[in-house]
Amino acid sequence: MWIFCTFIFIMVVAIAWYALSMIGSAANDVREELTNSDIVMHFRANAFFGNSWVQELIIAEDCVTSCVLRSGKYHKRTIGIDKIAQVNVAHGLIFSEILVINKGGEENVKVTGLAREDASNAKRCIQSLMSEAERLPKAASSSVTVAAGLQECADLYSQGLLSEDEFLAAKKRLLVS
C-alpha cells in the first residue's frame, strides 16, 4: 500500500512540476515579446484558489496579457489598452478575480486567485494606462502628421496636462508609429 501511495505522490509532484514549468515558459515567451521597459506590472495568481494550475497577469504600456494553464493547455490572451472597455474586480474573502473586458465583447482577460491587494493595484494600473492612452494623441489612427502630434504633446506638456514621463512616452509612440 505504501508503494502505491508513494507512486501516486511522485506522479502528482511530476505533473505539478510539468505544469509549472509549462506556464513559466509561456510567461517567459510573453516577457520576451515585451521589453522590460514595456512591462509595468506582473502578477501571479494562487494556484489553489484559481480555477487552473497557474495564472499570470502581465500589464504592459500598451496591452494586458493573461497566461493561463488549464486542462494541460496553455492559453494566452492579450487586449490592447485602447481596446479595453472596463476593468472589473470581484473580491472574495482572501483572493480576488480580475476581468478585463474587451470593447468587442469577446476574448476578455480573466485571472482568478489574485491577492486582494494585487487585484486592486492591477485595476488601478490598467485604468491609469487607459486614461493616459485617451489623453495622448494618436498619430497612426488619424490624419495628424508626426510633427503635429509632437507639437500637440509639447503643448500639453507646457500646459502641465502631461507629466514628463507621459510626454516622453507619447513622444516615443509618435516617433515609432
CB-count burial class (<10 Å; 0-12, 13-18, 19+) for 99 = middle
Residues 154-170 pLDDT 10s: 888 888 878 888 888 87
**Taking the chain (177 residues) in consecutive chunks of 10 residues, what is each chunk's mean pLDDT?**
82 69 55 64 73 78 84 81 92 90 85 90 92 70 64 83 82 71
CATH number of the domain that 8 lies in?
2.30.29.30
| Same domain as 140, residue 130 | no
Q: Whole-model pTM?
A: 0.60
Burial 70-88 (b: 16+ CB within 10 A, else e): eeeebebbbbebebbeebe
Largest CA distance in the chain: 77
| Same domain as 92, residue 142 | no
Residues 84-114 pLDDT 10s: 999 999 998 888 999 999 988 778 888 888 8
| Same domain as 124, residue 49 | yes
| Same domain as 175, residue 98 | no
| Same domain as 113, residue 26 | yes
Print the domain residue range for 130: 2-134
For residue 130, the tally of other CB atoms under 10 A from its CB is 18
Number of structural domains (the chain) is 2
What's the pLDDT score for residue 98? 93
| Same domain as 36, residue 101 | yes
| Same domain as 167, residue 90 | no
